Amino acid sequence: MKIFDYPETKIIGKNTIIRKLEHRDLDKSLEWLKDPLVNKFLSQDFATLDKRQEDDWYRFMQKSKNDLAFAIETINGYYIGNCALHKINWFRKCAEFGIVIGEKDYWDKGHGSEAVSMVMVYAADKLKLRRIILNVYEYNKRAIRVYSKCGFKLVKVLEEDHYYNRKYWDTYIMEYRSRR
Ligand SMILES: CC(C)(COP(=O)(O)OP(=O)(O)OC[C@H]1O[C@@H](n2cnc3c(N)ncnc32)[C@H](O)[C@@H]1OP(=O)(O)O)[C@@H](O)C(=O)NCCC(=O)NCCS
Q: What is the pLDDT of residue 159?
A: 98
Contact 88, 129 (CB under 8 A): yes
- Residue to substitute in 142, 171, 173 for testing ligand 1 pocket (most ligand atoms within 8 angstroms of CB): 142
Residues in the chain, how many? 180
| pLDDT score of 153 more than 70 | yes
**Does any ligand 1 atom lie closer than 6 A to the CB of residue 150?**
no
Q: Which atom belonging to ligand 1 lies closest to the Cα atom of 145? A: 16
C-alpha distance across the termini of the chain, in Å: 27
Over residues 10-25, the pLDDT tens digits come to 999 999 999 999 999 9
| pLDDT score of 94 more than 80 | yes
* Chain mean pLDDT for the chain: 95
Q: Which atom belonging to ligand 1 lies closest to the Cα atom of 42? A: 47
SS3 readout for 68-113: EEEEEEECCCCEEEEEEEEEEECCCCEEEEEEEECCHHHCCCCHHH
Contact 45, 36 (CB under 8 A): no
**Does any ligand 1 atom lie closer than 6 A to the CB of residue 115?**
no
**Helix or strand (DSSP H, E) at 145:** helix 141-149
Contact 85, 132 (CB under 8 A): yes
Q: How far apart are CA 148 and CA 133, in angstroms?
A: 13
CATH 3.40.630.30 for domain 11-133, yes or no, is yes
The domain limits of the chain are 11-133
